[in-house]
Structure 1
Amino acid sequence: MSRLISSLIFLVFFVGLVSKSNASSSFRYSHKHVAFFIFGDSFLDVGNNNYINTSAYQLANYWPYGETYFKLFPTGRFSDGRLVSDFIAEYAKLPMIPPFLQPGSSHNYYKGVNFASAGAGALDDTFKGLVIPLKAQLRYFKSVATSFQQNLGKFEAKLALSRAVYLFSIGSNDYSSPSLSSYIYADYVAMVVGNTTAVVQEVYKTGARKFAFMNLPIFGCLPADRISDDSCNQEASALAALHNQVLFQSLVKLEKQLKGFKYSLFDFYSSLSEIIDHPSEYGFKEEKVACCGTGRLRAIDSCGGKREVKEFELCDNPNDYVFWDTHHLTEKAYKQLAAQMWSNQTKTSNSGFNLGPYNLEDLFHATYAEDSHLELPSCVTSFVSS
């Protein structure tokens, strides 16, 4: 009995020392919130490309981008306002997650950070030299994980990283690559998805356990890809569907292979298809024409007049439109997608559009105590069990 009491006293003393040693470095860190880390392309980029040497096609830091929500201060988001990740952060009671490259953003790392880059792909050669490819985003994340260890201590950092949620939206730009034509589609898709899951496994090794994914949208129904009679390009959509099938199968495998791996997979493809097929039920009046651009369906990528074509038209009310520009959605559409991702609610589908076992609300509310991979430091467990 006396030995048991001594063991308990030591355990309380040890935990007290750990808490005290971390007190000075964790003044900005709280167990009450779950950090949010974001990887991807223009669907999630909140301004990282503002800080790299790139082309106007990969930038959205000029009017009228952001004009609905950010008014005269465009942030680099490819929309008239906020993106899916902004609304998810709001649901999770977090502030807007800043871009990693934004000067002075490091003080927000404990609540998360955004690594996404417009134009980025899972392959390094996609828009090479103009974007932050997925592997570079991984390097940025590893530097953040290292700073967690340095500031919080190894155990507390692992705890924080395991509680965090990691959102990925990547792959769309890989299929605009000229090199695609030299591959069999199935082989190319396997390469894109393989690169994506390889990065996911590297993030997992840092202690991450809760992952969220958006699959690819229905390519052929974006304004830029509709064919001459304004109908959807079936070949382009079939390629996105193939990617999505392989991604789904890969995540099922990862769940079996990686202990504690939890994931949400949002069916961006089907959700956007549903909105396009039933626009009025979602509060839209125009599902084919972009709000900002020029030419047929405003499908020429000229929004803002900073790219090759300088002339552009701007609709009167973005809330009437599904698409903001040739490839991207309006804030209103993104808000609806975020609501579906968060709680699986949708106006016309009883089953929702989450293909994984969890939705985002599940992931954010899951606590570290549910994750069997977490253990006390070995010096504690060995002493108590002796």
Structure 2
Amino acid sequence: MRIIIMAKYSFNKQQLCCLTFFVLISTVAIPSGCIRQLHQETITNHAILIVFGESLFDPGNNNYINTSTNFQANFPPYGETFFKYPTGRYTNGRTIPDFIAEFANLPLIPPFLEPHHHHHHHHVAYGYNFASSGAGALSETNSGLVIDLHKQLKYFKKVRNHLKAKLGERESDKVLANAVFLLSIGGNDYLRPSPLFASFPPDQYVSMVIGNITSALQEIYHNGGRKFGILNIWPLGCLPIARAQNVASGGDGSCDPRANAVTVSHNSLLAATLRQLQWQLKGFQYSLFDVFSVALDAESNPTKYGFKDAKSACCGTGPFRGIPSCGGKRQPKEYELCSDPQDFLFWDFIHPTEASNQISAQAWWNGPPNITGPYNLQALFHLTS
């Protein structure tokens, strides 16, 4: 069997390794991953990944803005398990979008603000990530310290104009219609509430948060997006920080029922809104990942998911290691670090470990409709407009 490599394709390291593999064992079998990868490269219409959100999805955009260390994770032990150095991701390794990119045969999507990436995005990249730790759906949430959702949308419009200039109207429309838009937003609007939180009854506040998420989705849609992957919010009352606060006020470290009630009303309104958008907007398709149910299930049945501890953080101080001290850049300076993050659902006071992100990503990628519906992400990637 002869291998012919056409000169017009350029290959990255992983593919060269695949090619070498090809040549070495061309008489035997060819690893399917290689074929898939080469095939993926030769077609320009691979679905790209465009990411909006907060710390669960931020690959390090906050390294490049003027903010406080409360909204940064660019110091050890963040990143230690996988990257071996801190990247700005709020976990010990990869985030959910990192795994999704991997499952979709895409490289990891760098922070949009990374200077190198920023100036070299004149080629049509594999995707863009605008997520910023601490961002909320409301611009008032952590205002001035984060890239809020509104600003993330502005960056997206820049990218859209740039694609148009580069590819022409028809091609760029096609790229955006096939792109998968991931969004994780809302948790910070309740966790570190904006000044607005106290001024409204909870149900009205939830409607405002969902209203902002809705208009963001409509805006992406009107700018050409058709395929959406949306994360609902974690049980906020069961985060290590909430359990620690419960202990501090004389409780037994159980979940905070009020915070969970707000989460439930947010999540049910979000689900209803997405059904409505699908009905209103022609061609709007989505995958809603119920991370809330998966997290609650993991907290009650840790061993089912391979965890030893699903209540405490791996890195932090105090009860449940729920005090935000991981890395010693905040108060208090001392912190504890577990020996094996794989055993934990939580990495720090509110963020999941890489092991936990992998479970979520896998479930979102090819899980059943009750946790990722109406489509899972794998199906969404393969839908053609």
Q: Same fold (TM over 0.5)?
A: yes
Q: Which residue of 2 aligns with 1:203?
A: 220
CA contact (8 A) 2:317 2:323 kept: yes
CA contact (8 A) 1:305 1:312 kept: yes
Displacement of 1:110 in angstroms is: 2.7
Q: Secondary structure at the match of 2:114?
A: coil
Gaps of 5+ in 1: 1-27, 346-350, 369-386
Displacement of 1:104 in angstroms is: 1.9
Provide the aligned length of Structure 1 versus Structure 2.
Answer: 334
CA contact (8 A) 2:45 2:175 kept: no
Displacement of 1:324 in angstroms is: 0.2
Q: Which residue of 2 aligns with 1:271?
A: 294
Query: C-alpha offsets along residues 209-256 of structure 1, whole Å, 9 cap, x if unaligned?
Result: 000100000011100012221111111011011000111111111011
Equivalent position amino acid for 1:210 in 2:
K
Q: Which residue of 2 aligns with 1:127?
A: 142
Equivalent position amino acid for 1:232 in 2:
C
For 2:43 and 2:63, the matched residues in 1 are separated by 30
Query: C-alpha offsets along residues 129-187 of structure 1, whole Å, 9 cap, x if unaligned?
Result: 10000000000000000000000000100000000000000001111214312211111
Q: Which residue of 1 aligns with 2:208?
A: 191
Does structure 1 residue 76 correspond to structure 2 residue 91? Answer: no
TM-score, L = length of structure 2: 0.85
Q: Secondary structure at the match of 2:311?
A: coil
For 1:238 and 1:154, the matched residues in 2 are separated by 46
Does structure 1 residue 224 correspond to structure 2 residue 237? Answer: no
For 2:242 and 2:200, the matched residues in 1 are separated by 21
Does structure 1 residue 212 correspond to structure 2 residue 229? Answer: yes
Larger Cα-atom Rg: 1
1:49 to 40, 44, 62: 62
Gaps of 5+ in 2: 1-40
Q: Which residue of 1 aligns with 2:330?
A: 307
Does structure 1 residue 180 correspond to structure 2 residue 197? Answer: yes
For 1:209 and 1:289, the matched residues in 2 are separated by 38
Query: C-alpha offsets along residues 29-56 of structure 1, whole Å, 9 cap, x if unaligned?
Result: 9434210000000010000000000011
Does structure 1 residue 34 correspond to structure 2 residue 47? Answer: yes
Q: Which residue of 1 aligns with 2:365?
A: 342
Alignment of 1:230-269 (within 5 A): 230-269=253-292
Residues 32 and 152 (structure 1), Cα distance of their counterparts in 2 relative to 1, 3 Å cut? closer
Alignment of 1:133-172 (within 5 A): 133-172=148-187
For 1:275 and 1:245, the matched residues in 2 are separated by 20
Equivalent position amino acid for 2:49 in 1:
F
CA contact (8 A) 1:60 1:75 kept: yes
For 2:371 and 2:278, the matched residues in 1 are separated by 19
CA contact (8 A) 1:109 1:144 kept: no
Q: Secondary structure at the match of 1:322?
A: strand
For 2:359 and 2:291, the matched residues in 1 are separated by 11
Which has the larger displacement, 170-179 or 288-297? 170-179
Q: Which residue of 2 aligns with 1:9?
A: none
For 1:57 and 1:46, the matched residues in 2 are separated by 16
Displacement of 1:109 in angstroms is: 4.8
Equivalent position amino acid for 1:66 in 2:
G
2:111 to 99, 117, 130: 99
Q: Which residue of 1 aligns with 2:9?
A: none
Q: Which residue of 2 aligns with 1:318?
A: 341
Q: CA RMSD in A?
A: 1.3
